[in-house]
Structure 1
């Protein structure tokens, strides 16, 4: 008989399958506890996919191993390769798998949807405990390892129960219910009006006088005066924890009172941009850990007690196993058991250190932070989590991988709270690389075309585009400061609900209506008011790219670029296109038919570029000798523009050379949703303004804040587990500055007083 699987491999599998899978399960737990926090620090698809794979395999491996152990016990003749004296140790391994099913503290849910499956995990808790108990019961009454087995049953049940409870508490429905206040019927209106009517019937002069809530601003103003500047990282964590407890309801679309708005608004209007960024970064980290880890379950008095019990019984099981006579057990099985015991203790110890050195601990023991020694240690540790802003353009050249020291790499891998990068997509570059080639094709070109067809057939085109066309830029201090200052100035105007809603709904028109721009930008208003949001974004993105490229031409008119407005505009432009095309879930509330517009615009651009020779005509790139003689700011610009090929520059020039006296819709109709040549008209209008970059940068901040304010809150929360996004920081900053629709900022409960007499 011919066997598909060789007999020796089958015999090896039958003998060692349990040992292999239980060690595999332990390895997956180690990978998860060490690597799961990395997903909040990177948007790399491969890293996130590896963590996702380990997350899924961890439960599967533990369940499968329990089944293998049970199958071994159903074979008392030993045909499965298990001598009867090894059944005791197999039964001892079953509760280890309960520990593994409980999972590490660093990840309970991979996505928000996993929290909704808490009931399934609860049923799994009951069935797995029952399965492990049956395995243990079959080894009785002669099991000489029954004492350490029972101890591990206690630890395993606790661990699995912690995970189930963490999923239950992080479920968005339960999360919302936990923050709802008791029903509030308000003052007794009926009783007051009865008294008012009776007085009127008695012909007594009566009126109602409304008395507002006293001192509604005094505490907030006093607090704001005390925090004009954050002293250190410990203080930032304290404020972030306070605002987290107030604003965590944003995740489930709760509303807030005027007191909470006033307090937050005053605080963020007083501090500088760096302090605001640090507070928001810590606050978002709190949100991430509440939704995706065991922190809520563990970080409490009951949680500490239960965790201590769990750790103690595992240590007790180790000591008990060490003291038992192991005669009759296979040496390899004994070594595997020690590996499992020390692995369980080691994982719990790592989790304990992560718990101690966390933002939660710093916020919880705030009263001890007045001790200088403790505060110094806490600040030193928190300094590793604080963002190291890239060097400013006027100070030195941008960071390169070679210029980053070892300590900075350690910080980025182990400590940072989010990815600290923006992902960008350039429409012109994408269209140029995707256009069909007009020259003769060689063998490699044909193979490449076949590969693209295969990729599209299997639905991997989006993944391929992300890997090839999406680049990333560090989030710079200048960019964040500009966004912060723009939103803070608008916040000062948002004193009433109507104004706050108007500012939140603005997507370029607020800036264009400003007195500083109104006279110069009349022709631009239609590109933000008379078009959909996705259309406006595409128009301004292509126009920004055309202006940016053509402004490098030596023959172009000089243009004002205050505070790096040009670099800010280009970065936000590419970032917003990335969100529209590559992150459709984040833009789903405002995207409209953005995907269709992008595809149609790309098709028209590829058609336009494929029929023209774009090899020449671009300005020569700056040589290294010339670059060294330039000022640092100019050198940085030269480095940025060196990435644009002569073909790219020529393509932009050819687009602007097209006669656009007649609007494209009058010639082509409206079947195609391409905005390519409409964007060329916009670019020509912008190029007439000497201060265009200052205007464009402010328009892009409005486009960004509009998308941030209209993105669903749970989508912001979901993105925290994928490296985070700048748009989420903007969303939370807008809420703290009182810009949005989450506030009931009219008067709260007023006290009505019935006045009888004149």
Structure 2
């Protein structure tokens, strides 16, 4: 078979292959596009990325290919009918360019390119119309052609509108509240002056409008799943402002606290999970466009018969259930049975106990990394590429080789929930809520009466505190042959925080964390490699044996290296020397409390945009904690501190 013959065969089948390839990619995107909100593994993320990019390229290339063959379509050959049918596929390609409801943007940055998609919409629609007009179809194809053309343009327009609506600028502007001039100051001053001119004694007093104090020990009760879905949608409409760095009002805090204080731990996390799913759909799908009565009506026209799965996705969405339930409660009870049917679908396909995110945290351990990262020629090559040419191949290798994932335990969630609830209940002063979010271990140490002794380890830079407590946690963990469950949980948070510091630095406060980590690893490797064969627990034992009381590590090393290895040994020794009854239990309750506080501090300091970026990668525990903190009113998400205080004019008679 000659090369020329193969080329002719390809020319004959090229359009068919391209259209079928485009269709295959669209089916894959439809079914797999929504999975990444709860799956963070590379085996899904990489194929999705390739399919997302190739889907548009193939469709656009096929349209261009069809336009080049317009002369052949008009030659009047006996295969004219078949070729006209091939050109009819141009309209299907427009439908494909409209994308799938489950994925309009692979990353949040794609939303900012909506103008490019608008230009592509215009050019490709014109091209498809031109190709089809040149084919001069018969009357029998005219009607389906028009239906398909309108459907394709509508769907493509939906995608462009969805990208625009999900861009950060558009999201932010859509959430801005109408300008509020406040009380009429000029009128108030004039009224006050007129009273004084009339010889009356006028006084100005400030009447604060603070929320009434509530019972912080209100009864905890289990809510119905339907109520959780409905309230999650309502809270989302308010708390989504955090993702674009807008503020919340004191009334938002009152409403949220009143609801979350009476929730069980697992139901509080469920509400947050549903909110994050709604935010993910707002950023990466067509939710903002199609979830409305107009959008759903258009969807019946564009999707009704071809894609039943897409219609099912609309029905089992909290958006649809919340709209139906709101309509049933405000206008007519006729919608109540329909709302009940939609909720039945939700509870069947998305039961309450099923996580709405990956429910996993990554683990990265410094000592384990230093022990396993033995010198090899290919690692030296990767390091050379990284440090000389800025190709971060060694960092990617370390992330793949030394990072693993574990499930978030219910005990860990309980620990976070109890600490946040305790902080929320510890004060009714609105100004104190922000201060509670600034603690990164101080509050836990003060409650245990150990701030004077251990405060130095949390009052330093945050990345330094993470490394100090990470190494110290490991040393204490291996000091006991039978670690307590609380010890294992503390080590899980410790490894997760180090992963964020090293592999997700954009989610942490600006610091030299990666430099400090590198220097600490370099010193640890030099210390461990005095022996050829050494295990993780042996390394911990050797570090514990170092006597740091002879001289301070910083005095010996100076400031050239940012390593904190032996300062962490000092912290570990102080923790192991804690006295009192039930010392082991007491020590790990302290360590766990410090780590939870550090986790909450990091969550509060991470920008809303960084949290949004992680929603498309299975989600992060840090984001879940961040939103839970906002619901408990802990942190600086609330800038209105004392309500709408009003000045009042009092005239003495």
Q: TM-score, normalised by structure 2?
A: 0.91
Q: Which digits, 9 at most, give the CA deviation of each residue in 1:391-414, with x for residues without a partner?
A: xxxxxxxxxxxxxxxxxxxx7xxx
Match of 1:462 in 2: 395
Mapped pair 1:361 → 2:357:
no
Counterpart contact for 1:101–1:160, Cα < 8 Å: yes
Match of 1:382 among 347, 359, 380: 347
Match of 1:396 in 2: none
Match of 2:126 in 1: 130
Task: Measure, in 1, the Cα distance between the counterparts of 2:13 and 2:604.
Answer: 56
Match of 1:526 in 2: 456
Match of 1:682 among 565, 571, 575: 571
Q: How many angstroms does 1:497 deviate by?
A: 3.9
Q: How many angstroms does 1:708 deviate by?
A: 0.2
Task: Measure, in 2, the Cα distance between the counterparts of 1:166 and 1:238.
Answer: 23
Match of 1:568 in 2: 489
Counterpart contact for 1:36–1:107, Cα < 8 Å: yes
Match of 2:361 in 1: 422
Pairing 1:371-450 to 2, within 5 Å after superposition: 375=340, 378=343, 381-382=346-347, 385-386=350-351, 388=353, 416-436=355-375
Q: How many angstroms does 1:754 deviate by?
A: 3.1
Match of 1:262 in 2: 254
Q: What SS class does the counterpart of residue 505 from structure 2 fall into?
A: coil
Task: Measure, in 2, the Cα distance between the counterparts of 1:72 and 1:35.
Answer: 34
Q: How many angstroms does 1:359 deviate by?
A: 2.1
Q: Which digits, 9 at most, give the CA deviation of each residue in 1:283-341, with x for residues without a partner?
A: 111111111111121111111221222246xxxxxxxxxxxxxxxxxxxxxxxxxxxxx
Task: Measure, in 1, the Cα distance between the counterparts of 2:430 and 2:237.
Answer: 23
Task: Measure, in 2, the Cα distance between the counterparts of 1:755 and 1:523.
Answer: 54
Change beyond 3 A, Cα 1:746–1:594: closer
Task: Measure, in 2, the Cα distance between the counterparts of 1:460 and 1:386.
Answer: 41
Q: Which digits, 9 at most, give the CA deviation of each residue in 1:678-737, with x for residues without a partner?
A: 111111111112221111101001110010000001111111110001111110011111
- Between 353-362 and 537-546, the greater mean CA deviation after superposition: 353-362
Q: How many angstroms does 1:659 deviate by?
A: 2.4
Counterpart contact for 2:324–2:338, Cα < 8 Å: no
Match of 1:644 in 2: none
Match of 1:439 in 2: none
Change beyond 3 A, Cα 1:494–1:119: farther
Q: How many angstroms does 1:523 deviate by?
A: 2.3
Match of 1:251 in 2: 243
Change beyond 3 A, Cα 1:418–1:387: farther
Match of 2:171 in 1: 175
- Between 28-37 and 236-245, the greater mean CA deviation after superposition: 236-245
Q: How many angstroms does 1:232 deviate by?
A: 2.7
Match of 1:655 among 523, 543, 550: 543
Q: How many angstroms does 1:380 deviate by?
A: 7.2
Task: Measure, in 2, the Cα distance between the counterparts of 1:370 and 1:91.
Answer: 44
Q: How many angstroms does 1:102 deviate by?
A: 0.4
Aligned residues: 638
Q: Which digits, 9 at most, give the CA deviation of each residue in 1:352-388, with x for residues without a partner?
A: 0111122222222224799799759835742653575
Q: How many angstroms does 1:536 deviate by?
A: 0.6
Q: What SS class does the counterpart of residue 405 from structure 2 fall into?
A: strand
Pairing 1:70-85 to 2, within 5 Å after superposition: 70-75=67-72, 83-85=79-81
Change beyond 3 A, Cα 1:231–1:499: closer
Mapped pair 1:8 → 2:15:
no
Task: Measure, in 1, the Cα distance between the counterparts of 2:566 and 2:588.
Answer: 21
Pairing 1:293-312 to 2, within 5 Å after superposition: 293-311=285-303
Q: How many angstroms does 1:204 deviate by?
A: 1.2
Q: What SS class does the counterpart of residue 162 from structure 1 fall into?
A: helix
Change beyond 3 A, Cα 1:497–1:212: closer
Match of 2:20 in 1: 23
Task: Measure, in 2, the Cα distance between the counterparts of 1:83 and 1:465.
Answer: 59
Counterpart contact for 1:102–1:160, Cα < 8 Å: yes
Change beyond 3 A, Cα 1:104–1:370: closer
Match of 1:742 in 2: 637
Match of 2:35 among 35, 38, 42: 38
Q: Which digits, 9 at most, give the CA deviation of each residue in 1:520-557, with x for residues without a partner?
A: 4522111111x21001100100000111012228xxxx
Q: Which digits, 9 at most, give the CA deviation of each residue in 1:627-676, with x for residues without a partner?
A: xxxxxxxxxxxxxxxxxxxx111111111112212111211211111111
**Cα RMSD over matched residues?**
2.9
Task: Measure, in 2, the Cα distance between the counterparts of 1:446 and 1:185.
Answer: 68
Pairing 1:162-201 to 2, within 5 Å after superposition: 162-201=158-197
Q: What SS class does the counterpart of residue 207 from structure 1 fall into?
A: strand
Counterpart contact for 1:387–1:420, Cα < 8 Å: no
Change beyond 3 A, Cα 1:450–1:199: closer
Counterpart contact for 2:74–2:135, Cα < 8 Å: no
Q: Which digits, 9 at most, give the CA deviation of each residue in 1:31-57, with x for residues without a partner?
A: 000001111111112311111111111
Match of 2:445 in 1: 512
Pairing 1:201-216 to 2, within 5 Å after superposition: 201-211=197-207, 216=211
Mapped pair 1:92 → 2:88:
yes
Match of 2:619 in 1: 724
Match of 2:504 in 1: 583
Q: Which digits, 9 at most, give the CA deviation of each residue in 1:46-94, with x for residues without a partner?
A: 3111111111111111101101111111446879x99544442133111
Counterpart contact for 1:435–1:607, Cα < 8 Å: no
Match of 1:605 among 517, 524, 530: 524
Counterpart contact for 1:55–1:110, Cα < 8 Å: yes
Match of 1:338 in 2: none
Task: Measure, in 2, the Cα distance between the counterparts of 1:230 and 1:93.
Answer: 54
Q: How many angstroms does 1:748 deviate by?
A: 3.8
Q: Which digits, 9 at most, give the CA deviation of each residue in 1:251-308, with x for residues without a partner?
A: 1111121111111112212212111011111111111111111112111111122122
Q: What SS class does the counterpart of residue 485 from structure 1 fall into?
A: helix
Q: What SS class does the counterpart of residue 505 from structure 1 fall into?
A: coil
Match of 1:480 in 2: 413
Counterpart contact for 1:43–1:722, Cα < 8 Å: yes
Q: How many angstroms does 1:448 deviate by?
A: 7.9
Task: Measure, in 1, the Cα distance between the counterparts of 2:551 and 2:72.
Answer: 85
Q: Which digits, 9 at most, give the CA deviation of each residue in 1:407-462, with x for residues without a partner?
A: xxxx7xxxx421111111111110001133xxxxxxxx767877887899853222
Q: Which digits, 9 at most, give the CA deviation of each residue in 1:9-30, with x for residues without a partner?
A: 2112211111101110000000
Mapped pair 1:668 → 2:561:
no
Counterpart contact for 1:40–1:723, Cα < 8 Å: yes
Pairing 1:195-344 to 2, within 5 Å after superposition: 195-211=191-207, 216-217=211-212, 228-311=220-303
Counterpart contact for 1:233–1:383, Cα < 8 Å: no
- Between 273-282 and 493-502, the greater mean CA deviation after superposition: 493-502
Counterpart contact for 1:186–1:749, Cα < 8 Å: no
Task: Measure, in 1, the Cα distance between the counterparts of 2:194 and 2:377.
Answer: 93
Q: What SS class does the counterpart of residue 361 from structure 1 fall into?
A: helix
Match of 2:603 in 1: 708
Change beyond 3 A, Cα 1:78–1:541: farther
Counterpart contact for 1:15–1:82, Cα < 8 Å: no
Task: Measure, in 2, the Cα distance between the counterparts of 1:548 and 1:747.
Answer: 45
Counterpart contact for 2:121–2:157, Cα < 8 Å: yes
Q: How many angstroms does 1:744 deviate by?
A: 3.5
Q: How many angstroms does 1:245 deviate by?
A: 1.2
* Structure 2 runs not aligned, ≥5 long: none
Counterpart contact for 2:247–2:639, Cα < 8 Å: yes
Task: Measure, in 1, the Cα distance between the counterparts of 2:646 and 2:454.
Answer: 50
Task: Measure, in 2, the Cα distance between the counterparts of 1:454 and 1:433.
Answer: 21
